[in-house]
Copies of this chain bind each other. A is one copy, B any other.
Amino acid sequence: MIQLSKNYLNTLSVWRRDFHRYPEPGWLEFRTTAKIADQLEAWGYTVHVGQELVVGERMGLPNQKEMASFFERAKDLGANEKWLEKMAGGYTGALAVLETGKPGPTVLFRIDIDALPILETTNDKHIPQRLDFRSLNEGYMHACGHDSHATIGLGLAEQMMQHRNKLTGTIKILFQPAEEGVRGAAALVESELLNDIDYLFALHIGTGVEKGVFVAGTDGFLATSKYDVTFEGVAAHAGAFPEQGKNALLASAQAALALQALPPHSDGSSRVNVGTLHAGAGRNIIAANAKMQLELRGETTEINAFYEQQMRNILEGIATMYDIKVHYEKVGSAVSVPSDRQLAEKLAQVTKALNIPTIDYQYFNAGSEDATFLMEKVQKSGGLATYSIIGTNLAAGHHNECFDIEEDDMLPAIEAWLNMLVSLCEEDMK
């Protein structure tokens, strides 16, 4: 087994703190991508950035103003123009490809790299604050650990090149944009660059697993769809001409009730949540506009699809009821896919051999993940996929302003994947 030196943590820490200092939200990871791509190219990888990778429709794309602002910021921070050019318009993310030239498996490691629109705490107990790598991008924060994911990806890439002689086949590392809100994977999954994968590995740090423990395979991601809904009616003076209005506030209230009153599903658990509702322009005006953010979840992809159909019925019906326009847009989506137990067990053998405390397989009630789109693609084409968790001590829960990981837990993740890869190259288990 290949063991990494503890000193390598210094390298990882520098990378991770740099990513942490410059958090960028989904579709705006200009500087993050450029930095990663520079490194990968320097190490000898073929690097794909832009529209050959991001081939599908992008959900939840930020508006023009934000787009321009983050793009300029990246430029100001010295991001390589070569990559920026390819990313213009929000085509962020990178794919590193290593063609070994030897026959062997095609393996894909998937990493997510985006940050969240959360204002990072300035509390002195918060290590990024104390050690001065708190977000410099006020109002945005790596509060889900994707800075450490990006670091793990870079570490793996560097180590792979150190052990290149042990590798066969084609190895790819995907630095995926826009995982938050489950927006990115669906736009990449159809890229030909991601075809014919034999083995797919994805992971997350934290999510409630004990420090240092490696969960080799997981199940329990809920299929989900996120929608933004707008209702457009007609304003009228509520006192003078109430009958002239087409009331978008009432329409959205009725829609919210109907959505929340959808029945449970006998095939498994489900969730419907209208999380936000904003309607109306003034007290004495029949509200002409309303906006709603909602999400649907299902224990299976089919259950989720059932609720999508119900939602469409409700929204189209509401439009007729109130004679208003209703527009809904999918801004995020993930399917429900379990890890392959076979691959998880293989990975667990590796981590056990590395003396990493290991749980072979675990059912998580862990929300949703768009890596499932890639897992589904791989499984459908006959490959195997597993989603792992590496435990750490969290300073606060995911998406909390005080969230922080412990950096030493990045090391075993790289060791696990690196040795797994070598093992697969040695003996193609399929």
Contacts and interface: CB of A to CB of B under 8 A. Distances in A.
Interface string A250-278: 10111011101101111101110111111
A241 interface: yes
Question: How many subunits of this chain does the assembly comprise?
Answer: 4
Which of A249, A253, A273 has the most C-beta atoms of chain B within 10 angstroms of its own C-beta?
A273
A286 interface: yes
Given A261-B261, A320-B313, A277 B280 contact: yes
Nearest to A309: B323
Interface string A224-264: 10100000000000111111110101101110111011011
A197 B322 CA distance: 43
A55 interface: no
A367 interface: yes
Interface stretch (A292-300, A336-344, A387-395): A292-300
Contacts of A276: 249, 279-283, 287
Contact of A243 (B263, B283, B314, B368): B263
A285 interface: yes
A320 B255 CA distance: 12
Nearest to A263: B242
Contacts of A222: 239
Given A266-B240, A270-B264, A319-B317, A277 B278 contact: yes
A249 B263 contact: no
Contacts of A316: 320-321
B313 A323 contact: yes
A318 interface: yes
A339 B257 CA distance: 39
B249 A258 contact: no
Nearest to A266: B241
B239 A250 contact: no
30 contacts: A238-B273, A238-B275, A239-B295, A239-B367, A242-B271, A243-B266, A250-B258, A250-B260, A250-B274, A252-B253, A253-B256, A253-B257, A254-B257, A257-B257, A261-B261, A263-B286, A273-B283, A274-B280, A274-B287, A275-B280, A276-B282, A276-B283, A276-B287, A277-B287, A278-B279, A313-B320, A313-B321, A317-B320, A317-B321, A320-B320
